[in-house]
Each structure stands twice: as structure tokens, then as C-alpha cells.
Amino acid sequence: MGGTKKKSLSMAEKAQIIAQRKQEKQKKEAPKSKKEKRPFYLSALNEKDVEKALKDLKAITTYSLAKALDVNASLANSLIKSLESKNIIKKIGGYSGHYIYKSVSS
């Protein structure tokens, strides 16, 4: 039933001054980026790297291809879909989004 105590005028003024200082400090400081990652697109993938990664894998899954190419899982998934449309790989099993593919040439 209590609730918070009402601040006195001097405490409210101090809190307002502190908030203003924080805003000024944030405006002065430039945002520091630890390590900027540049976007990685499918066009940047080398066909030789993809072929080599596919030959090394027994069963091709989204996550195994992502790990082999060192890319995001979403990028690997879109790569798999494009390879499947070009008939380079073929879906052989899996369920609920976790599909397994194999290379058509092997």
C-alpha cells in the first residue's frame, strides 16, 4: 500500500541535471563499433569454394553448409534453395525445415 515517496524539489532538480548531463555526453561521444561486419551476399561467394564445401560434406544440411562456408544459416539456406533450383543438389530426407540434401553429381 505504500508506494514511492515524493521527491523533494532539490532532489528532483538534481535528477534533472544528471539526466541532462547524460544526454549531452551521449551526443558528444561517437558510437563505437567493435568490429564492423560488412554484409555478405551470395554474389560474393566463390563457386569453387561452394563446390569444394559440397564435396567435403557427406550429407548437406543448412547448418553444415553454413559452418563449412563460414556464413550465416539464413544465407546458407538461401544458397541451398538456389542450388536445388539449379539441380546441383537434391533433397533426400528430413522434416519440418531440417532437410538433408545430397549432391546430384555423386
pLDDT one-digit tens code per residue, 22-59: 888 887 775 665 555 444 555 567 777 788 888 888 88
pTM of the complete model: 0.56
Q: Would you state the pLDDT for residue 27?
A: 77
DSSP letter at 97 equals: T
Averaged pLDDT for residues 96-100 = 88
Q: What percent of the chain has pLDDT over 70?
A: 83
Higher local confidence (pLDDT), 37 or 71:
71
Contacts with 75 (C-beta within 8 Å, 6 or more apart), sequence order? 40, 42, 66
**CATH number corresponding to 47-103:** 3.30.63.20
| pLDDT score for 38 | 47
